Structure 1
Amino acid sequence: MLRDFLRDAGLPPQRSNPHVLLVACSGGPDSLALAEAASFFNRRGDYTVGAAVVDHGLQPGSAEIAEAAAGKLRGMGLSPVTVRRVQVPESGMGPEAAARTVRYEALDAAAEEAGADAVLLGHTLDDQAEQVLLGLARGSGTRSLAGMPARRGIYLRPFLGLRREEVEEICAAQGLEPWHDPTNADPAFARSRVRTSVLPFLENELGPGIAEALFRSSRILAQDADFLDAQAARTYARLRAEAAQTPGTDGPAETETPAAGGGPEEILLSEESLRDLPPAMRQRVLALAAAELGAARPSWERVRAVESLLRREGSAGPVQLAGKVSAYRQVRGKPVPQGGPSYGNLVFRKKSSA
């Protein structure tokens, strides 16, 4: 399974100049089973396999747990094996999100140092089902409900189609003794409640197969999201090009004001063209405009607020988005900050840091 997955990802086994893989391992059942599977190909010489253990320092004895995991990985013959100690900052994003951010920063650094072609993550079908349920609880859109991708950049998830009990069976068969993270059963975390209470309840009330059904839904939605995102990117590029060539009602439309950092500080898009788009496409295009100016992906509520400006009723804005980006519609006869009077455009502007 792992070999086929890597081959499909463009990383076929090869004895001459083998690809370098890095297993992200916590010492838990999923990542330990993945490391064991990868070690087989390492011994064969098909791949060069190392590992990285990230110690978040959030639990008593975390350093010892990380070193124990590293010892098991070295015993499998993996090299290099490094332990990365990180500090999880206190932030408004919550402890899980903050830990995830610093974890991937540490894995990025480990991959760069090892010259890795890919980093293998041990997420399973059960993790994916939990992710989809959490997305549903948040009222998320297609991309979020698609869950975790099997591949994103150098990060690969070969076990995404396996159940958690299957990887536990791999550990038992190989005589591995995984570490079980106590936070996985801590009701203080939403994911833990989904794992220990919500999914078992759904299985009991609706019958077995709920996790598999959620996984299938995530794969279908991932295909839909990929298609819509690609269409939105093409549509956004077209609207940007049209705005650059088409003068406004009262003067030329200034579609891009350079910022000090070299990127645009202001983007104009035709209101008429935006109104002609289907809502699913229009909302994605609006989000892309905000993202080009450096804003984090805006929430559905913020995108809807920007979209409401197109009705030309009430306030002309601005609607505040993340990253010091705002959106407003032009008022007839009023100049844009860096251009002459223009009308009929939605303006996205990033506040200058100067």
Structure 2
Amino acid sequence: MPARIGDIPMPRTCPHFLTLRLAVRRSVPVGNTAVLGVSGGPDSLMLAAAALAEGVTVHAVCVDHGLQSGSGEQAERAAAQVRRMGGGAEVVAVDISGHPGGTESAARTARYAALAAVATRRGTEVWVGHTLDDRAETMLLAALRGLPGGLAERGTVPGTAEHGAPVPLTRPFLHVRRADTVGASRELGITPWYDPHNSDTAFRRVALRREILPALGGIIGGDAAPALAEASAKVTQDSALLDALAEEALRRRREDADCTADTDLPVGVGAEHPALRRRILGIFLRANGATVSTRATAGVDRLLTDWHGQGPVAVGGTTDGRRLVVARRGGILTVSAR
């Protein structure tokens, strides 16, 4: 065990931090280097600490979303904490106004775009500090949106597969509890930052964390997070298989219809099993920069399976304020901006 992590002395006994190091040890990146998203909170800050303790070359990206007074100073503070631990760090300011969805969704999209840009420049993968608790919360949020899903341990940075070379994404802490990252911060004598938004129950995730998960625990007589996280893991495995089958089915349908444009969708897709069809529609919408929501997907699905001459279906908008719509013409679905 190293005596220090940069300028931080390692305590003789640190069970929480050891748990984090073991998690990182199972996720050593190619080239032993990674770009980390670090907000300064206990999860991301301890991910940087554990990675550095395990000999990973860390470059932290501390994103300033500009959503709170002093956000730039906090991002600089997080970068300084990583540098004190012996890692590299930079602050990236983002503008969320050009991204679709609510504040939380737009901030997430902008953040991942910033991480992907730095990782591409440095030729490495992205690490983020999601824990088992995040996995359980995401499972519930996805179910409430009618689109069951979860967090995968390994995948690609959202959006990069549709707009260029996919950037690998790893979540080393998905089997680790949030209590371990908080406990490790105390063991190392590091003071993390706690985002005020994480106490605001106006945000769905915060309300789930503070109100719904404890209520579920009371109903089952124990901690609900592990079971939800296990369900999330199974859902992500099932989704990975179905996504691969959907890609193959889409390829075949496009060949059968002599469809040359990767952004168009042949109506023959309507004959696919609903589980595959939903994923094919997701591929189609994302490739066109459209919104993948329950409402949009259902509307486009009716153009395939319940066609009676209806008009275009709205599927989001462009950054310059135009609407994106899907229309059916001559056996093909296309997306256009109006």
- Separation of aligned partners in 2, 1:303 and 1:70: 40
Cα deviation, residue 37, structure 1 = 0.7
Indicate if the aligned counterparts of 1:91 and 1:98 stay in contact, CA closer than 8 A: yes
Contact 1:24–1:53 under 8 Å retained in 2: yes
RMSD (Å), alpha carbons? 2.7
Q: 2:270 corresponds to which letter in structure 1? A: L
Q: Tell me if 1:85 matches 2:93.
A: yes
Question: Quick one: structure 1 residues 217 and 82, their matched pair in 2 at CA, closer, same or farther if it must change by over 3 Å?
Answer: same
1:234 correspondence with 2:229: no
CA contact (8 A) 1:24 1:121 kept: yes
Q: TM-score, normalised by structure 2?
A: 0.79
Q: Structure 1 vs Structure 2: percent identity of aligned residues?
A: 36
Amino acid at match of 1:350: V
Q: Report 1:178-217 matches (<5 A).
A: 178-217=192-231
Match of 1:274 among 270, 286, 291: 270
What runs of 5+ residues in structure 2 fail to find an aligned partner?
1-21, 157-166, 318-323
Alignment of 1:91-240 (within 5 A): 93-113=101-121, 115-141=122-148, 145-152=149-156, 153-240=167-254
CA distance in 1, matches of 2:192, 2:33: 24
User: 1:36 and 1:132 mapped to 2: Cα distance?
Assistant: 27
For residue 309 of structure 1, report the CA deviation from its aligned partner: 4.3
Residue of structure 2 equivalent to 1:58: 67
Q: How many corresponding residue pairs? A: 301
Q: Give the Å deviation of 1:316.
A: 4.8
Q: What is the letter of the counterpart of residue 266 of structure 2? A: L
Distance 1:297 1:213, change over 3 A: same
Q: Does 1:38 align with 2:46?
A: no
Displacement of 1:290 after TM fit? Answer: 4.4
Q: Give the residue type in structure 1 aligned to 2:228.
A: L
Q: Distance in 2 between matches of 1:149 and 1:278?
A: 27
CA distance in 1, matches of 2:175, 2:115: 23
Alpha-carbon distance change, 75 to 236 in structure 1, aligned in 2, over 3 angstroms: same
CA distance in 1: counterparts of 2:143 and 2:337, whole angstroms: 37
For the pair 1:48 / 2:57, whether they are aligned, the reply is yes
> 1:213 is matched by which residue type in structure 2?
A
What is the Cα deviation at residue 99 of structure 1? Answer: 1.3
1:154-183 CA-partner distances (Å, limit 9, x unpaired): 321101110100111111111111111121
Q: Cα offset for 1:267?
A: 4.3
Give the counterpart of 2:78 among 63, 66, 69.
69
The corresponding residue for 2:279 is 284
State the alpha-carbon separation in 1 of the partners of residues 75 and 201 from structure 2: 24
Deviations 1:192-229 (A, max 9, x none): 11111111121122222310011000011111111111
State the TM-score, normalizing by the size of structure 1. 0.76
Larger radius of gyration: 1
Q: Which structure has more RCO (C-alpha within 8 Å, separation ≥ 6)?
A: 2
User: Is the 2:153–2:172 Cα contact (8 Å) retained in structure 1?
Assistant: no
Q: How is 1:254-269 mapped onto 2 (pairs within 5 angstroms)?
A: 255-256=259-260, 263=261, 266-269=264-267
Paired residue type of 1:6 = S
Please give the alpha-carbon distance, in whole angstroms, between the structure 1 residues aligned to 2:24 and 2:211: 35
SS at match of 2:230: helix
Provide the C-alpha distance between the structure 1 equivalents of 2:218 and 2:337, rounded to a whole number of angstroms: 55
Is 1:302 aligned to residue 296 of structure 2? yes
* 1:150–1:204 Cα change, 3 Å: farther
| Alpha-carbon distance in structure 2 between the residues aligned to 1:279 and 1:168 | 43
Match of 1:20 among 2, 8, 33: 33
Q: How far 1:36 sits from its partner (Å)?
A: 1.0
Contact preservation (8 Å) 1:33, 1:167: yes
